[in-house]
Amino acid sequence: MLKDVLLNLGLSNEQVEKVLSCYILESFKEETLVNKVKEIFNFLESFGYDKNQIVKIVASYPSIFSFSIEKLENKINELMEIGYKFEEIKGMVLSASHLLGHGIDNIKKKINFLESMGYTKEQILKITFMAPKIYGFSTANMSIMMNNIMSLGYSKKDFVRITVLNPNIYCYDFNTLKTRIDNLVELGYERKQVLQMILHTPQFFCYNLSSIKERINFLEEFGYTKSQIIQLTVKNPFIFVFSKDTFKEKINSMKALGYTNLQIIKLTMEAPNVLSLTIDNIKKKIDDMKVLGYTKEQIIQMTSKFGSIYTYSIDNMKKKLKDMISLGYTKDQVLALSFSFPVLFGLSFDNLKEKIGFLKSIGIDSIILDYPNHLMQSVELMYARYKYLTLEKEITIDESNAYLLFKGEKSFNKSYGVCKSDLLEKYNYDIDVRQKEKQKLKELK
């Protein structure tokens, strides 16, 4: 009779046998069990599970049929009192139904143990929601895993970070994890690089080696060098999450927008996060930039040089253009400047304003239109060199020789025999200019 009831409820013959062989249920009469099975099914259904989910729960944890409805309700309430949300408990029970069999005192002891390992209460709720199996692990084995992971060169804080992002690490065999690290070293990564990748993206611990090799081969075929691949993936191991087909589709979509292979490589090396954007997001940014006044061809060139543009909001870009115009440049000049020097969008306006203001004070601010990369040099060094050249070398600086202010450090040192640190100390922009301006403003108030 019980077997027929279970089959009618959707369990397979194999699942039914598992339920019938559960030793905890042996003491119940068949008629009692039939009623309890129906009760539990109705309870789980009222809890919000569908038929397939209920079958999964009872098949993986047949002992649930020994519980009273009152006991189950109390367990749910107790878990909510600990800090879990109702929907979280539903998910936890579905993925690890044996959670219902753990006494609340044991759960609280495990929470206290996890706190002693360095987790916050919020982190404990997060990792046990993601991997409720943790409540079934022995504290001894968890301590061993922590010590093993730390033996690789991680701190206790690192271990907590890694397991908060990927609590399933507790389920892995440590020797397997070590082998994966060794395999990556054999692919050309330095050991410290692999450890950094895992700290950044702990899921990387679980990636299949053959899948990683496949992605590396694809990147090489596309045109990336081995050193570029290592550099790209060390900083952004999430790239290995993409399947070859997904990556290929994204690359082909970018080529369809007008990028060449070389431009895509350059863009992703400078701003690999672009790979996590959808093509629709990229298309929208291109359309938005067209409205600002750039052509599509210009946008392709700009983003190839400075891919981080894709991460800036269009409102911030509009403001940067408006701010630059407020310094006395025309809109066309600012568009031309930002086209040849798109890094402009990544510099703070206060910083730009101070640099351009100084150049304007010595009458050579127009050089920025032809040599916008000069804006990368600090105003402190511009000022120190200007003072040194005009006062000590008695050189009049104008547009014809303004390049002297921006020579490379080695070249400047070789020409004049003075090092950067000595110049900055002798002609201190902060003391000579900034503090005096602040004092003037104070006096005016």
What's the Cα-to-Cα distance from 355 to each of 141, 148, 339, 359, 364, rounded to whole Å? 59, 52, 19, 6, 11
Low-confidence ranges of the chain (pLDDT < 50): none
Q: Which CATH architecture has domain 242-346?
A: Alpha Horseshoe (1.25)
Residue 435: per-residue pLDDT: 85
Residue 150: per-residue pLDDT: 95
Q: Quick check: 386 and 363 in contact, CB under 8 A?
A: no
Q: What is the DSSP string of 300-349?
A: HHHHHH-GGGGGS-HHHHHHHHHHHHHTT--HHHHHHHHHH-GGGGGS-H
Say what the pTM is. 0.70
Q: Quick check: 128 and 88 in contact, CB under 8 A?
A: no
Q: Quick check: 305 and 266 in contact, CB under 8 A?
A: yes
Residue 160: per-residue pLDDT: 95
Q: Quick check: 163 and 169 in contact, CB under 8 A?
A: yes
Residue 445: per-residue pLDDT: 63
Burial of 437 (0-12, 13-18, 19+ CB in 10 A): exposed
- How many whole angstroms separate alpha carbon 322 and alpha carbon 299? 19
Residue 210: per-residue pLDDT: 85
Closest CA to 41 of 20, 55, 23: 55
Burial 275-312 (b: 16+ CB within 10 A, else e): beeeeeebeebbebbeeeebeeebbbbbbbbbbbbbee
* Domain 1-101 in CATH 1.25.70.10: yes
Q: Quick check: 380 and 424 in contact, CB under 8 A?
A: yes
Q: Do domains 1-101 and 242-346 have the same CATH topology?
A: yes
Residue indicated by tokens 């431009």: 263
Q: Where are the domains of the chain?
A: 1-101, 242-346, 351-445
Q: Quick check: 271 and 259 in contact, CB under 8 A?
A: no
- How many whole angstroms separate alpha carbon 49 and alpha carbon 41? 9
User: Phi first, then psi: what are they for 108, rounded to 5°?
Assistant: -65, -35
Q: What amino acid occupies position 197?
A: M
